Amino acid sequence: MSTSALTEIIERYRGKPGSLIPALQKAQAQMGYLSGETLEQISKGLGIPFSRVFGVATFYSQFYLSPRGKHTIKVCVGTACHVRGAGAALQALEEKLGVKAGNPTEDLSFQLETVACLGTCFLAPAIMIDKDYYGEQTPKTVGKILKKYIGGGADAGTPDPEE
């Protein structure tokens, strides 16, 4: 991340109580992950011991301490999805991408994650790629969806509600 962007984030949160997590969230949103250097700068900038920053960054599953794949695939393994066969869809994705959940693919094109619940139980089993939802997934359908994202396709997903 550019130093100025990080400095801006730090300035925004400096001296405010409880600002570590939002600062980490903003920094990660800027850069995609939190490098050791970023963590150390946030620690210094906010005056929070580095060990505490590291402890927080490793506690929450939202934070990534290493580079991530371009497209994030979240496989819902919530209860509804589980009973409707999310495991098989996940297994198929792991096979196809050659990584275990929680990791980026070797070429950093995908990041495979599981998520406790997407809150879309009616789609079960559901997956989410970036901001697009895909419901009723089977080992057969996931392959087709992946193809949409290989080679720069399907960038325009659901609009970001925050935009």
Partner 1 sequence: MNEINFFIDGREAEASDGMTILEAAQANGVDIPHLCHAEYLQPTGACRLCVVEVEGQRALMPSCAVKVSPDMKVSTGTERVVRARKMVLELLLSAHPKDCMTCDMAGKCLLQKYCYEYGVSDTRFKGGAIYNYPEHRDNPFYVRDYNKCILCGRCVNACAEIQGDFIIDFAHRGFATMISTPLNRNMKDSGCVFCGNCVAACPTGALRERDAAGVAREWELNKVSTTCPYCGCGCQLDLNVKDGKVVKVTSNPSAPVNGVALCSKGRFGYGFIHSPERLTVPLVREDGELKPATWKKALDFAARRLCDIQGESGADSIAGLASARCTNEENYLFQKFMRAVIGTNNVDHCARLCHASTVAGLAISFGSGAMTNTIADISQADVILITGSNTTETHPIIALQVKKAARRGAKIIVVEPRRIQLCDIAEIHLCQKSGSDVAWINGFINVIISEGLHDASFIENRTEGFEEMKAAVKKYTPEYVENITGIPADALRAAARVYATAEKAAILYSMGITQHTSGTNNVMSVANLAMLTGNIGKPGTGVNPLRGQNNVQGSCDMGALPNVFSGYQQVSNPDARKKFSAAWKAELPESSGLTATEMMRAAIKGDIKAMYIMGENPMVSDPDTGHVRKALEKLDLLIVQDIFITETAKLADVVLPAVCFAEKDGTFTNTERRVQRVRAAVAAPGDSKQDWRIIGELAMRFGYRMDYESPERIMEEIASLTPSYGGVDYERIDREAVHWPCPSKSHPGTPILHIGAFTRGKGKFAAVEFSGPDEVPDADYPMTLITGRILYHYHTGTMTRRSRPLDEHVPQAFFQINPEDARSLNIADGQFCDVTSRRGAISIAAAISDAVPEGSIFIPFHFAEAAANALTNSALDPIAKIPELKVCAARVSPKEDAQRMLKY
Partner 2 sequence: MARFKTFKDIAKYREKLNKERDSEATAVRVCMTGCRAKGADAFSESLKAELKKRGLENKFKVIETGCHGFCSMSPVAVVEPGNIFYGNLKPEDAAEIVEETVVNGRTVERLLFADPATQEKIVKEKEIPFYSHQKRLVLKNCGVVDPREIDDYICRGGYAAFSKALETMKPEEVVEEILKSGLRGRGGAGFPTGLKWRFANKERSDKKFLVCNADEGDPGAFMDRAVLEGDPHAVLEGMLIGAYAIGSDEGYIYVRAEYPIAIAHLNIALKQMEELGLLGRNILGTKFSFDLHIKEGAGAFVCGEETALMASIEGKRGTPRVRPPFPIQSGLWGHPTCINNVETLANVAAIIENGSDWYASMGTEKSKGTKVFALAGMIRNTGLVEAPMGMTLREIIFEVGGGIPNGKKFKAALTGGPSGGCIPEQFLDLPIDYDSLAKVGAIMGSGGLIIMDESTCVVDIAKYFMTFTQSESCGKCVPCRMGTKRMLELLERITDGKGTMKDLALLEETADIVKDTSLCGLGQTAPNPVITTLKYFRDEYLAHIEQKKCPSLKCKALLTYTVAEDKCKKCHKCAESCPANAISGQKKEIHKIDQAKCVKCGMCHTVCPFDAIELS
Q: Does 99 bind partner 2 (CB under 8 A)?
A: no
Residue 128 phi/psi, 5° resolution?
-135, 125
Q: What's the gap between Cα 43 and its chain centre? A: 22
CA dist list (Å): 154 to 31, 127, 150: 22, 15, 9
Selection from partner 1, partner 2, none that 50 binds (CB < 5 to 8 A by kind) is: partner 1
Rounded least distance, CB 16 to partner 1, Å: 18
Q: Does 14 bind partner 1 (CB under 8 A)?
A: no
* Inter-residue contact 86 to 136 (CB < 8 Å): no
Stretch in the footprint of partner 1 (CB under 8 A) among 50-58, 83-91, 136-144, 152-160: 50-58
Which of 7, 16, 22, 50 lies at the binding interface for partner 1 (CB under 8 A)?
Answer: 50
Residue type, 10: I
Which of 17, 49, 159, 161 lies at the binding interface for partner 1 (CB under 8 A)?
Answer: 49
Q: Does 95 bind partner 1 (CB under 8 A)?
A: no
Residue 61 phi/psi, 5° resolution?
-70, -15
Beta bridge partners of 133: 128
Which of 133, 141, 148, 154 lies at the binding interface for partner 2 (CB under 8 A)?
Answer: 133
Residue type, 7: T
Residue 111 has which token pair? 């990041």
For residue 5, count other CB atoms closer than 10 A to its CB. Answer: 13
Binding residues for partner 1, rule: CB under 8 A, are 36, 39-40, 43, 49-55, 58-59
Binding residues for partner 2, rule: CB under 8 A, are 17-22, 24-25, 48, 52, 55-56, 59-63, 77-80, 82-84, 88, 91-92, 95, 115-124, 126, 131, 133, 135, 139-140, 158-162
